[in-house]
Amino acid sequence: MHDRQWHELLGMGIESLPHALLLSGAPGLGKLQFAERLLTLLLCEQTTVESGLYKSCGVCSGCRWVASKSHPDVRYLSPDGEDSEEADSLSSGSSVALSEMDPPGVGKAKPKKRGSAAIRIAAVRELEEFVFVGSHRQGRRIVLITNADAMNTIAANALLKILEEPPATVYFILITSNQDRLLKTLRSRCRLLGFVRPPHAEAVQFLVQNGMPPTAERLLSLAGGAPLQVVRWHETGKIESLNALLQTFRQPGDNPLILAGRWDDLLKKNDHLKMEFLVEAVQRWVSSAALGGASLTSNTLFAAWRSLLECRRSANHPLNQLLFLEEVASHALRAISGLAPAYKADS
């Protein structure tokens, strides 16, 4: 995957690689994997070129150190106490998906709060020494910043200073799934490399290449089209519960009480399945049904959509789970009841 971006970046040779890169796109599209591939290439001591593509050797000490995240010439920066942004969206939800799915006129949803997780000024200050003091291996040095949008303004400005005149051998790779929240001046210092959802056929091909079962394809709809997310779900044994969730969308019935009961059951049996994810999935289901059938501006659908959005905001700690699910189910059923029956059965 991402050979296009690889070519785009390295087509003119490693030496012409920009010193500040911003990898931007929705979660689960492989930005982190791409960054790690690039990191390895830059620090590999025996790179090769195969059919026009640069490759790292995978066996030299540079490659091995990167693989074990212990290379002395790499610094990793991410928000305090938070794993990388490519973390499983089952539990984290994703604010990006929310705004991307807004029907026209609803306006941007408020970004999900990250709690206190932020990249702080102290962390950026520590970079200064790393950047301006010589390397351990007399080679390149790299700073990888995941969730770069979590930098507060002070931290972002400090980074900006470093980026103004970095030594020739230092590279910055920033990753974000919320590009709009990044300081503008910082964005303009970086070469932007966009990651978009692969076409469905390509995503399916990726799943096959990664040994996923044929049923995994259906989960792409839950993953917002991001194949890597599906692979991750498979690796962590979540496929079965997600298929069960999809089944409730395929045959929702017309009784919100029963539908809510099925969801409640799923949530109780599967700890990894979170309420917020479920409500987001319901939203996706309703919107894909709508895109396939009725007009998005239909009043019933619009009202149901807004209600679901409200539900999603309060999904973290409902007072009564079953009651809350009933509300979600009735909104969803109300929305799809306005659509052609064919879309109800096969969404």
Residues that bind Zn ion (CB under 5 A): 44, 56-57, 60, 63
Q: Please, are residues 228 and 28 in contact by the beta-carbon 8 Å criterion? A: yes
Q: How far apart are CB 71 and Zn ion at their closest, in Å? A: 11
Q: Which of 21, 8, 16 is nearest to 189 (CA)?
A: 21
Pair type for strands 53-55 and 141-145: unpaired
Q: Which is nearer to Zn ion, 72 or 292 (CB)?
A: 72
Looking at the Cβ atoms of 41 and 304, the one nearer to Zn ion is 41
**Distance of closest approach, residue 41 Cβ to Zn ion, in angstroms:** 9
- HSE-up of 69 (CA within 13 Å, CB side)? 4
C-beta of 61 vs 316, nearer to Zn ion: 61
Least distance from Zn ion to the Cβ atom of residue 118, Å: 34
Shortest Cβ distance from residue 59 to Zn ion (Å)?
6
CB nearer Zn ion, residue 9 or residue 63:
63
Cβ atoms 308, 109 nearer than 8 A: no
- Least CB distance to Zn ion at residue 170 (A): 20
Q: Which is nearer to Zn ion, 56 or 146 (CB)?
A: 56
Kindly tell me which of 33 and 61 has the beta carbon lying closer to Zn ion.
61
Under 8 Å between Cβ of 197 and 28: no
State the Cα–Cα distance between residues 37 and 24, nearest whole angstrom: 16
**Shortest Å, Cβ 56 to Zn ion:** 5
CB 75 within 8 A of CB 262: no
Rounded to a whole number of angstroms, the minimum distance from the CB of residue 206 to Zn ion is: 25
Q: Distances from the Cα of 90 to the Cαs of 101, 230, 295, 319, in angstroms?
A: 17, 11, 29, 21
Angle at 227 between CA 182 and CA 110, to 5 degrees: 35
Nearer to Zn ion, 63 or 170 (CB): 63
Beta carbons within 8 Å of 150's beta carbon, 6+ residues apart: 78, 79, 82, 114, 117, 118, 119
